[in-house]
Chains A and B, each alone.
Chain A
């Protein structure tokens, strides 16, 4: 997805004869190409394409999880419907809109913090200092820890009675009484942001570091000779040069954060005050067995994310696909 490395133009050109007819070798290679990608395409169609279509289909039905074969089509009623002057459907549910807001807030705040911290960590790792390799290994550790385990670890650290965070803050006198971090709606989403930052800043930092390491060194030497302050160099030279890589990293982190499920589900124990869109959809689908309503919410999530992807691609900021140079 990110083509930050130099991608060599290593393709074998389609060999054509002077008349423009493809040689038999080329034809057999093209046949081979289709044979080679067919298994992957079939598997993906079966486990991604088909389930997605079925989810969209279910969103127009009143299906129930107990028996998925027994349903009738009810049109857009799962989304929006009017009975006796009253509106129903996902789009009228305050809990749905709450989850949308939670997800958007979580994404904006956590990705912003991760970007800023990621730049700082990347700049540190780009400097030559003893123990740089060790430092890079250290920041990879939070990334490697499974999300569920991270959520449980932080749950324990944030425990209202026996948690180490409350103990630390009490000792240095920042708070007067223990705080119920993950149960209180005011602080619960912030704790989710903190754990996400803890886990994903290294990802951001590594992508930015890869961009930093490709910058031409002579600019920096010239700036040094001219006596330009390092802060100025950063904002005038470094930041504009790493901007494309930064944007890609931000987009990928945002798409990931928008579908957040496990962290919020485990950390804030499935409460509706902090539910993300994915948590809401799964709750309708599995806990309440309302496949129709849950599928409608899932479809909306898919549409939101698909829309963002399309906008990103259309803006032409990220060039995906082949020959990414």
Chain B
């Protein structure tokens, strides 16, 4: 019985692992096959043809798309963290009237369906002259990252012992100095976690990027991959799409694996949308 149970357990583990990994594995081996080779199914890597990887950069400005994604996500992370840490200090360490109401309001924003602000955001972005620009996307993406950045950082901020800042205040430090000198270093691990989550959210964002950009050079990676097309409408360049997918996914997977523990801590502390 225990032997059977053990076999069953390992079987389950293997099935789950295969289910989790197979799609990405299949994308990788597909990306190394090209031309008519793709019209047959292969389960094992059989060729190592890099032509799809060249094609994805030749047929469209994929280099620009990647750069756009890096710029947008990088700026979104920097702004969210800068605003988030100062706000989290106030929410986490200072008791003031209206605090919980404000915190609830910010939490409510993170539950907004993106499409609910779409036409208003469109008008705003046009009014600022930011349509089809990266700053427009940065502004829009802040709506998705700022609320949970504030929320998660507040949770972390509350966990720090209160003696930390009291000493500084006794020595006559102003709140701003306390944030900069005392909390910023202490918050570094939490900032890494939240920053990573914000980066992933922004890197994966599709609806705003699809709606607020027009030309291929200004697109970020998700709409670029979604809108990749072949020579005819009925013939999608699957090899190239898979190559592009592998290129943009490997850095994210690497980040997630390196910072695995931090990300899990951040997810359970803030339960941000996955």
Which residues of A come within 8 Å of B, CB atoms?
1-5, 7-14, 25, 28-30, 32-34, 36-37, 39-41, 43-44, 46-55, 57-58, 63, 65, 68, 120-121, 124, 127, 129, 131, 135-154, 156-157, 159, 161-164, 167, 198-200, 202-203, 206-207, 210, 248-249, 252, 255-256, 258-259, 261-262, 265-266, 277-278, 281-282, 285-286, 291, 294-295, 298-299, 301-302, 305, 309, 320-322
Across the interface, which residues of B come within 8 angstroms of A203, CB to CB?
267, 274
The minimal Cβ–Cβ distance linking B98 to chain A, given in whole angstroms, is 9
Task: Decide yes or no whether B182 CB sits under 8 A from chain A.
Answer: no
Query: Are the CB atoms of A322 and B252 closer together than 8 Å?
Result: no
Whole-angstrom CA separation of A294 from B166 in the bound complex: 53
CA distance A183 to B172 in the complex (A): 68
Check B104 for interface membership: any CB of A closer than 8 A: yes
B267 touches A206 (CB 8 A): yes
Contact B13 A135 (CB under 8 A): yes
* B residues adjacent to A (C-beta < 8 A): 9, 12-13, 16-17, 19-21, 23-24, 26-27, 30, 38-41, 43, 83-84, 86-87, 89-96, 99-100, 102-104, 106-124, 126, 139-140, 142-143, 146-148, 150-151, 155, 158-162, 165-166, 169, 174-176, 179, 200, 203-204, 206-207, 211, 221-223, 225-226, 238, 241-242, 245, 248-249, 252-253, 255-257, 260, 263-264, 267-274
Q: How far is the CA of A185 from the CA of B256 in the complex (A)?
A: 35
A137 near B121: Cβ-Cβ < 8 Å: no
Residues of A within 8 Å of B111, CB to CB, are 255, 305, 309
Of B13, B21, B206, which one neighbours A261 at CB under 8 angstroms? Answer: B206
A322 contacts B100, C-beta separation under 8 Å: yes
Report the separation of the CA atoms of residues A45 and B242 in the bound assembly, to the nearest whole angstrom: 39
Q: Give the contacting residue for A7; candidates B94, B159, B169, B203; CB below 8 A.
A: B159
Which residue on A lies nearest to B247, using beta carbons?
A149
A-B residue pairs in contact (CB < 8 Å), sample of 28: A2-B268, A8-B159, A10-B93, A12-B95, A12-B162, A12-B165, A36-B86, A37-B102, A41-B102, A127-B9, A140-B263, A140-B264, A141-B253, A146-B203, A147-B222, A150-B23, A152-B242, A154-B23, A156-B27, A157-B26, A162-B38, A162-B41, A203-B267, A261-B115, A261-B207, A266-B206, A294-B119, A298-B116
Q: Assess whether A148 is in contact with B96, with CB atoms less than 8 Å apart.
A: no
Contact A138 B21 (CB under 8 A): yes
Chain A residues with CB under 8 Å of B119's CB are 51, 54-55, 58, 63, 68, 285, 291, 294-295, 298
Q: Are A36 and B175 in contact (CB under 8 A)?
A: yes
Q: Given A32-B175, A55-B118, A206-B264, decide whether A1 and B107 contact each other with a Cβ distance below 8 A.
A: yes
CB distance from B13 to the nearest CB of A (A): 6
Chain A residues with Cβ under 8 A from B273's Cβ? 252, 256
Looking at chain A's contact residues, is the secondary structure mostly helix, strand, loop, or mixed? helix
Query: With contacts A40-B87, A164-B41 known, is A141 near B24, CB below 8 A?
Result: yes
CB contacts (< 8 Å) of A124 on chain B: these are 9, 12-13, 16
A181 to B111 Cα, complex, angstroms: 32
Known contacts A139-B16, A139-B20, A198-B19; A164/B43 CB under 8 A:
yes
Residues from chain B with Cβ under 8 Å of A43 in the complex: 83, 142, 146
Complex Cα distance, B80 from A47, in Å, reads 13
Give Cα distance in the complex from A121 to B20, angstroms.
12
The chain B residue with its CB closest to the CB of A161 is B39
- Our pick among A57, A278, A322 for the contact of B207 (Cβ within 8 Å) is A278
Residues of A within 8 Å of B123, CB to CB, are 51, 54, 58, 68
Shortest Cβ gap from A63 to chain B (Å)? 8
In the complex, which residue of chain B has the Cβ closest to the Cβ of A245? B268
Cross-chain contact B124 with A7 (CB below 8 angstroms): no
Check B226–A148 contact: CB distance below 8 A. Answer: yes
In the docked arrangement, what's the CA distance between A14 and B110, Å? 29
From A10, A164, A278, A295, B114 is in contact (CB under 8 Å) with A278
User: What residues on A are CB-neighbors of B207 within 8 Å?
Assistant: 261-262, 278, 282
Kindly state the separation between the CA atoms of A281 and B117 in the bound complex, as whole angstroms. Answer: 11
Checking A28, A49, A302 against B113 with a beta-carbon cut-off of 8 angstroms, the contacting residue is A302
Q: 19 new A-B pairs (CB below 8 Å) besides A33-B90, A291-B119?
A: A1-B110, A7-B155, A10-B93, A11-B95, A12-B95, A30-B94, A33-B94, A138-B16, A140-B264, A148-B226, A149-B27, A149-B249, A156-B241, A162-B38, A164-B43, A256-B274, A282-B118, A282-B207, A309-B111
Query: Do A278 and B115 contact each other (CB < 8 Å), given the known contacts A14-B95, A141-B20, A198-B19?
Result: yes
Set of chain A residues within 8 Å of B139, measured between Cβ atoms? 47
In the complex, the chain A residue whose C-beta lies closest to that of B211 is A286
* Contact partners of A142 in chain B: CB under 8 A: 20, 23-24
Q: With A152-B245, A207-B268, A282-B207 in contact, do A298 and B118 touch (Cβ < 8 Å)?
A: yes
C-alpha spacing A7/B204, complex, angstroms: 30
Q: A10 to B155, Cβ gap below 8 A?
A: no
B26, B103, B159, B264: the one within 8 Å of A322 (CB):
B103
Complex CA gap A323/B40 in Å reads 59
Chain A residue, CB-CB nearest to B28 = A153
Of listed A139, A150, A162, A262, residue having the most chain B CB within 10 A:
A262
Q: Which of B114, B116, B256 touches A144 (beta carbons < 8 Å)?
A: B256
Q: Which residues of B are found within 8 Å of A52, using beta-carbon distances? A: 112, 116-117, 120
Check if B94 sits within 8 Å of A149, measured CB to CB: no
